[in-house]
Amino acid sequence: MTKDIILCNRKSYGGLRAGPVRYIVVHYTAGDGDTAAGNGRYFSRVPQQASAHWFVDEQEAVASVPEKYVAWHCGADIYVHPECRNANSIGVELCSRKDAQGDYYFTDSTVRNALELVKELMEKYNVPVERVVRHYDVTGKICPAPFVGKGTEDWKEFKKMLTEKRYDTLDDMPAWAKPTVGKLLNKDILQGTGKGLDLSMDMLRMLVILDRAGKFD
């Protein structure tokens, strides 16, 4: 994932934070194939009553509001969360798409890039996974739509992936998985991402089961 900076219009966000970052709030752009850079450029030109620190799409993450400033991403007249507010959180917007039925979804690449960014922010600000929340959890707004309602299980999986161990190299993997992964690498079936293989334990188990069933012979 690449990163870029397109600074938000100064009239669209608040002042310097008075306290630490305690939460990370995940949103969606409610677009259909929009891009992080496109959102960044839009918010740089036109003053808005809303803003976010980051926009993420299939290719990159774009920084908009500097993290030391308060973005206007989860403000409301009525809150359902007891603590999370604009002043103590970072807002991350995921670019969305629509399917044939008009339902919003995130591509796998966008989710993967969002996971990478959120993990970095969690480490940078010492935010535990329990404090990575949806806009929905803060105000009750249906945002991010792909992670609310019937998408709740996808949100749970997203949270799980924030903390589960990922295996990037053959040497990192448990002994029982190495023969299968080595075979798949030799056959160019597995190529990984720019940062490595990026395989979870569940993925390793599934690959080994398929291998033992002869699916890769």
Query: How do residues 32-56 score in pLDDT, each as one tens digit?
Result: 999 999 999 999 998 999 999 999 9
Spatial CA neighbour of 63 closest among 53, 76, 78:
53
Poorest-pLDDT segment among 11-20, 22-31, 78-87, 189-198: 189-198
Per residue in 69-98, pLDDT (tens digit) is 999 999 999 999 999 999 999 999 999 999
pTM of the complete model: 0.84
What is the rounded CA–CA span in Å between residue 113 and residue 195? 11
- Other Cβ atoms less than 10 A from the Cβ of 167: the count is 19
Structural tokens at position 5? 């900076």
The CA-based angle 59-61-65, given to 5 degrees, is 155
Domain 2-163 has CATH 3.40.80.10: yes
> Would you list the domain boundaries of the chain?
2-163, 166-212
Buried b (16+ CB within 10 A) or exposed e, 142-163: ebbbbbbeebeebbeebbebbe
